[in-house]
Structure 1
Amino acid sequence: MSDNYIDQEQQELQSQPNKNGNKSYYSWLIKFTFSALVVTTILFLGAFGLFKANVFPFNSANGTESSASQPNNDINITQTSTENSAEDSNVVQAVEQVSDAVVGVVKYQQTGPLSESGQSGTGSGVIYKKQDGSAYVVTNHHVIEGAQTIDVVLSGGKKVEGEVLGSDQLTDLAVLKIDGSNVSNVATFGSSEDLKVGETALAIGNPLGLEFAGSVTKGIISGLERTMPVDLNGDGQSDWETDVLQTDAAINPGNSGGALVNLSGEVIGINSMKIAQQEVEGLGFAIPSATAQPVIEDLEQSGEVTRPYMGIQTQDLSTISTRDLQESLKLPSDVQKGVIVAATQSNSPAEAAGLQKYDVIVKADGNDIGSLVELRKYLYEEKSVGDTLELTFYRDGQQQSTTLTLEK
């Protein structure tokens, strides 16, 4: 065998392993690529299925969700946002409608020469009418009480003199008359009788004086048909209970006489008072428009509120000791409430009806009367001048009755 042949055979033997190695490498590469494609396909299909099932409720690239994958809670959030925006818009419109009709009321008490007279208090008021060149403002009785002169500050800052046409302590209302040449906006009264607890309420006025004129606070109607005691004589005793609306819209000193407004921009109450105890928050009260309107009309036309008159001086039975109830008044043990006649005025309906000192009134037209407040409320809210009133009373322990005709 020649040397050339031997060399050629050796070369072929040396190249054989390289060929086998190349075949193994390509076979592994093909298998790996195929396996990777299969796994990728499985993962992609799995993820797509989970996405369709809303397991991944994320937004798409354009920042929006498809209608098929949008959760219900997102829909509710959108609806709430729309409602809030609508209410905010209504609040703005209501304020714009009535705010120019809310004015400042400045009371002056002259304590000496003109140079010594000074401002003694500020409050708010509402222009409710304009006629024959004049404008009419409703405010609170306690805002103008004791004033020597009064100025009304319009929404634009112009100050004009106010004339008191009338004032009523029981309802805490007063009516002023001003020059109407600079008045452009008049408030409209709405119905307080149709209100429901939870409705939005806006208080507009001048808290803490004219520096914060036209301030608006927002809240709700917190309660209806509330009653607040009124001390008519300054002796710390309740002589009357006035009907009010309760609201948590902030009412501060200076807001008195301002407007409580609904979302339609209508005046549903005249802000009157708040409970100012340190531990109390959000207890403000307004005179309902249904109560205020007839009183305003009386004050504007006649300067006073016409109410029926009996002609008696009284004392609550609850202020008398148990011994006096039985020994002096000789009342039955079951009579614990009523109104004692302390005196009758001459030529009065009570005198004409035969009422005497120490008579104890317990019923009016068959309705139980437990206090002077109850008797007054029944007279002023249920009866009119010229009406007859049947009274049931005790005299010397004996129950009797009489009828009187109410006068002005």
Structure 2
Amino acid sequence: MPTIVGVVLGAVLVLLALPALVQTDILPYDITPNEEQMAENGSNTPGATKQPVQLDVSSQITKVVEEVSPAVVGVVNLQSQANFWEQGGDTEQAGAGSGVIYKKEDGTAYVVTNYHVIEGANEIEVVLSDGTKKTAQLVGGDVFTDLAVLKMSDENVKQVAKFGSTDKLQVGEPAIAIGNPLGLRFAGSVTKGIISGKQRAIPQDFNGDGQKDWQAEVIQTDAAINPGNSGGALINIDGQVIGINSMKIAQSSVEGIGFAIPIDTVKPIIEEIEQYGQVNRAFIGIEAYGLSQVPISERENTLNLPDEVEGGLYIRSITRLSPADKAGLQPLDVITTIDGEPVETIIDLRKYLYEEKDPGDKLEITYYRDGEQNTVTVTLGSQE
């Protein structure tokens, strides 16, 4: 009997002392749920257990792929195979890539793809996700952004892709690539990864002369992108197109580095191509190279530059009747600033002209000729 009374008395004492023990942090854990926890649990009942929200990412990916895939098409580059004895001749497949149907209007469907996918084509064929083949017409293309727009009849076109935005894109968020790697044999292939980086600058050499002509700003992803994926869609978890797949680093020591053109770059370019058939960019009319590429002996003996001039653009040639020609610029002139901003490479000049200027705008150029500094104002033309 004394034992039973002791147990009951001890239990009563513990119950009475428990709140004080918790408030003084003597207990090593908190058994009282706070208001935030109870709100998250959707219950005001102390001790209610929070149920974690389960996100079925696989099901969500399956859903968005099912929605977007019909808007991703194959793009076949057909070129004439003429021989010495005949003109014209049959056309054969010279290459294949991918494209994205982004608009249907007045019986016409519009497809965005990469410029390099359709470059040199005599005919272009679009293959829908159900295998239907359609002849497409080139609206226009742009080598600098590697984008082209095609149009075709919208018959049998069931789906149009939705464009998202790359403005708030986060590194680490899911990315899904849809396209035709290695040609139409693997049409509609899907790969998954993440956004590995934003605003990556990739130098481009368009004519193979070893000189960098442009610097593309792209999204980096580890979603597998292979030849044939070019022009396809990079989408987010909401099924929105956030990029047009463009290239990968193909080296044996490199794995999982692919690139896509940001959709915020794509949208204004394709709108301009739709309207004009090309991108209207400011034109100056010079062939120029960075001063760092000129041997020191030639700088001193031919260009006669002062010692303080360490960077600039050396003009090799000028297009006749171009804005530069009309303004009086000459070969061997060295441009050091444009509108007061230093310029050292042809990429610097093109970036400024193409992104900050329009045809008809004025451009103030500071340059050196025979060791003397000069300034001239050029009225920019339009690039044909």
TM-score normalised to structure 1 length: 0.78
User: Does structure 1 conserve the Cα–Cα contact (< 8 Å) formed by 2:81 and 2:89?
Assistant: no
Q: Offset at 1:115? A: 7.7
Return the letter of the residue paired with 2:75: V
2:306 pairs, out of 322, 332, 335, with 332
- Structure 2 partner of 1:109: 79
- SS of the residue 1:328 aligns to: helix
1:247 matched to which residue of 2?
221
Q: Quote the offset at 1:327 in angstroms.
A: 1.8
Which whole-Å CA distance do the structure 1 matches of 2:326 and 2:77 have between them? 43
The reply to whether residue 97 of structure 1 matches residue 67 of structure 2 is: yes
**Structure 1: segments with no counterpart, 5+ residues:** 1-74
Q: AA paired with 1:247? A: T
**How far is the alpha carbon of 1:208 from its aligned partner?**
1.1
2:93 corresponds, among 119, 134, 141, to: 119
Q: Distance in 1 between matches of 2:210 and 2:115?
A: 18
Q: For 2:225 and 2:95, how far apart are their aligned partners in 1?
A: 16
Separation of aligned partners in 2, 1:90 and 1:383: 43
- Give the structure with the higher percent helix: 1
Any idea what the Cα deviations from partners look like across 1:343-392, whole Å, max 9, x if unmatched? Answer: 33333221232212211111111211110111111110111112111112
Cα distance in 1 for partners of 2:73, 2:320 equals 45
1:279/1:335 Cα in 2 relative to 1: closer, same or farther (>3 Å)?
Answer: same
Distance 1:334 1:224 in 2: 37
Correspondent of 2:145 among 163, 168, 171: 171
Q: What do residues 72-130 of structure 1 show as CA deviations (whole Å, max 9, x unaligned)?
A: xxx99x848x23x1x22332232122111000011112213788532221100000110
Q: For 1:305, which of 279, 283, 295 is the aligned residue?
A: 279
Q: CA deviation at 1:329?
A: 0.9
Residues 42-81 of structure 1 aligned to structure 2 (within 5 Å) = 79=52
Choose 171-180 or 294-303, whichever is displaced more.
Answer: 294-303
Structure 2 unaligned regions, length at least 5: 1-48
Map Cα deviations across residues 156-205 of structure 1 (whole Å, 9 max, x no partner): 11111111111111111111111101101101111112212111111110
C-alpha offsets along residues 37-96 of structure 1, whole Å, 9 cap, x if unaligned?
xxxxxxxxxxxxxxxxxxxxxxxxxxxxxxxxxxxxxx99x848x23x1x2233223212
2:78 maps to a residue whose letter is Y
CA-CA distance at 1:323 after TM superposition:
1.2
**Match of residue 175 from structure 2:** 201
Query: What residue number does 2:128 align with?
Result: 154
Report the alpha carbon displacement of residue 288 of structure 1 after superposing the two structures with TM: 0.8
- The share of aligned pairs that are identical, in percent, is 55
Alignment map for 1:126-145 (pairs within 5 Å): 126-145=100-119
2:157 maps to 1:183: yes
Q: Distance in 1 between matches of 2:341 and 2:66?
A: 47
Q: Which amino acid aligns with 2:172?
A: G
- Looking at structure 1, the residues matched to 336 and 73 of structure 2 have their Cα atoms a distance apart, in angstroms, of 46
Aligned to 1:230: 204
Distance in 2, Cα, partners of 1:235 & 1:342: 15
Return the letter of the residue paired with 2:162: T
* CA distance in 1: counterparts of 2:102 and 2:68, whole angstroms: 10
- Equivalent-residue separation in structure 2 for 1:111 and 1:218 (angstroms): 38
Give me the whole-angstrom Cα distance separating, in 1, the residues matched to 2:236 and 2:361.
37
Distance 2:135 2:157 in 1: 13
> 2:80–2:89: 8 Å Cα contact kept in structure 1?
no
Aligned equivalents of 1:332, 1:204: Cα separation in 2: 55
The superposition leaves residues 300-347 of structure 1 with CA deviations (integer Å, 9 ceiling, x where unpaired) of 222111000112222221221111112211112342322112233333
User: What TM-score results when the alignment is normalised by the length of structure 2?
Assistant: 0.82
Tell me the SS of whatever aligns to 2:117.
Answer: helix
Give the aligned residue type for 1:297.
E
In the aligned structure 2, how far is the partner of 1:117 from the partner of 1:356? 45
